[in-house]
Amino acid sequence: MPMDGAKTERLRETLAKYMAKKGLRSTEQRRLIVDTFFESPAHITIEELLANVRASDPKVGYATVYRTLKLLAESGIAHERRFGDGVTRYELADDEDEHHDHLICTECQAIIEFEDPRLEEIEQEIAERYGFEVQWHKHELYGVCASCQEKRNKKARNGRRK
Amino acid sequence: MPMDGAKTERLRETLAKYMAKKGLRSTEQRRLIVDTFFESPAHITIEELLANVRASDPKVGYATVYRTLKLLAESGIAHERRFGDGVTRYELADDEDEHHDHLICTECQAIIEFEDPRLEEIEQEIAERYGFEVQWHKHELYGVCASCQEKRNKKARNGRRK
DNA sequence: CTAAGTGCAAAAAGTTTGCATTCCG
DNA sequence: CGGAATGCAAACTTTTTGCACTTAG
């Protein structure tokens, strides 16, 4: 029994509509994978999701998770993300008009989400400048997070003391 | 004889310094690969660069291009980019304080570069808000370019006429 | 029934790496 | 000379696909 917020609810509807339109079927595996995905933290990989799914049903195959995630992406309720470490990650779509972006720590791989409406405005303006019709965007700042900076400083102090 | 602008000149120096510091050697292959890279359009793939390099010296191996590009990235004179189509692309670094970002057409794969100083400012502000030390960023708008929109409209008109 | 979905295993597609050989400094 | 660099091929990693079997509608 997945605990569904208003947002989740809306996404489920979107998915149902998409599947109906395309004549796709609701199977036990798909329901399980989708439910598990909805309960998972953002930026999950296929591998991770598969592990979670197998906790409920060990017989589910990698390919099914792979294909279901593709389906979610096509239907627009999930986004594929590649943060440059070679794996594809998935996250639930945002609401119609809100988007968030990411800060990615290059030391501990932490992913922090942020949001700023001004960025959206400027992006829109740029797109117009080029007659470009934006479908989605990717905005990622790579660097060192606060806690890794601290660790780094601590290490420096210890090194000196020795 | 590569035609070097002021920017290229500076990047070459940076590379030379980096190699000296690390005790790396200047080989015939590296010189050829680097020169070819400097003359290539932005966002080139290893495969493409290899083809261009082999036009001058067919014996150069994939791994050498791969490792040289890694070297350029480490030295800071080139950037690795992944635009989500599974291949890694490389482009020459920008000057110290100017950065550009990308518009990527999901139909014709065209890559358009843009630049807006306001984005830099806001990013900096966001990073500070999270105590984050930015090393580099990625800002890409995916969508349909002007010319593909036209094609699309044309097709729609023809379809209707038929 | 029958077309869509599943699971498995094999195929692709790219990226990395080990190693014998070559060659820069 | 001696350690770096190269080229080849093999190893890896992750994504994608073919196919025989199962199942939702």
Which pLDDT tens digit goes with each residue over A9-68? 899 999 999 999 999 999 999 999 999 999 999 999 999 999 999 999 999 999 999 999
- Please tell me the distance from the alpha carbon of residue A96 to that of residue A94, in angstroms, as a whole number: 6
Q: Find the Å distance, CA of residue B25 to C1' of nucleotide D2.
A: 14
Q: Find the Å distance, CA of residue B29 to C1' of nucleotide D16.
A: 35
Residue A3, pLDDT > 70, answer no
- Distance to chain B for A157, nearest Cα, Å: 19
Any strand D atom closer than 7 Å to B104 CB: no
Per DSSP, the three-state class of B16 is: helix
Q: Which residue of B has its CA nearest to A89?
A: B84
Name the pTM for this structure.
Answer: 0.82
Exposure string over A62-101, b if 16+ CB within 10 A, otherwise e: eebbeebbebbeebebbbebbbeeeebbbbbbeeeeebeb
Q: Given this model, what pLDDT does residue A159 score?
A: 59
The mean pLDDT value of chain B amounts to 91
Tell which of A82, A90, A126 to mutate to test the B interface (max B CBs under 10 Å).
A126
Contact residues, B window 36-55, toward A, CB-based 8 Å cutoff: none
Q: Given this model, what pLDDT does residue B136 score?
A: 86
Residue A28's CB is within 10 A of a number of other CB atoms, namely 9
Residue A99, pLDDT > 80, answer yes
pLDDT, one tens digit per residue, over A132-152 is 999 888 899 999 999 999 988
Residue B161, pLDDT > 60, answer no
Query: Among the listed ranges A47-56, B71-80, B134-143, which one has the minimum average pLDDT value?
Result: B134-143
- Locate all alpha helices (DSSP H) within A23-116, ordered by sequence: 28-39, 46-56, 62-75
Asked whether the beta carbons of residue A103 and residue B132 sit closer than 8 angstroms, the reply is yes
Band (A161; pLDDT cuts 50, 70, 90): low
Q: Strand A44-45 and strand A88-92: pairing?
A: antiparallel
Q: How many helices (DSSP H) and strands (DSSP E) are in chain A?
A: 6, 6
Any strand C atom closer than 7 Å to B86 CB: yes
Residue B97, pLDDT > 80, answer no
- Please tell me the distance from the alpha carbon of residue B61 to that of residue B45, in angstroms, as a whole number: 14
What type of residue sits at position B50?
L
pLDDT, one tens digit per residue, over A106-120 is 888 889 999 999 999
Higher pLDDT, A48 or B94: A48
Q: Which residue of B has its CA nearest to A84?
A: B82
What is the average pLDDT across B59-87? 95
The pair of structure tokens assigned to A18 is 């998409």
Residue B4, pLDDT > 80, answer no
Residue A131's φ and ψ, nearest 5 degrees, are 60, 35
Q: Given this model, what pLDDT does residue B162 score?
A: 44
Tell which of B70, B82, B123, B141 to mutate to test the A interface (max A CBs under 10 Å).
B141
- Please tell me the distance from the alpha carbon of residue A15 to that of residue A17, in angstroms, as a whole number: 5
Query: Is A118 within 8 Å of A126 (Cβ atoms)?
Result: no
Asked whether the beta carbons of residue B141 and residue A132 sit closer than 8 angstroms, the reply is yes
Contacts of A53 (CB under 8 A, 6+ apart): A32, A33, A36, A60, A65
Asked whether the beta carbons of residue A131 and residue B123 sit closer than 8 angstroms, the reply is no
- Please tell me the distance from the alpha carbon of residue B20 to that of residue B32, in angstroms, as a whole number: 18
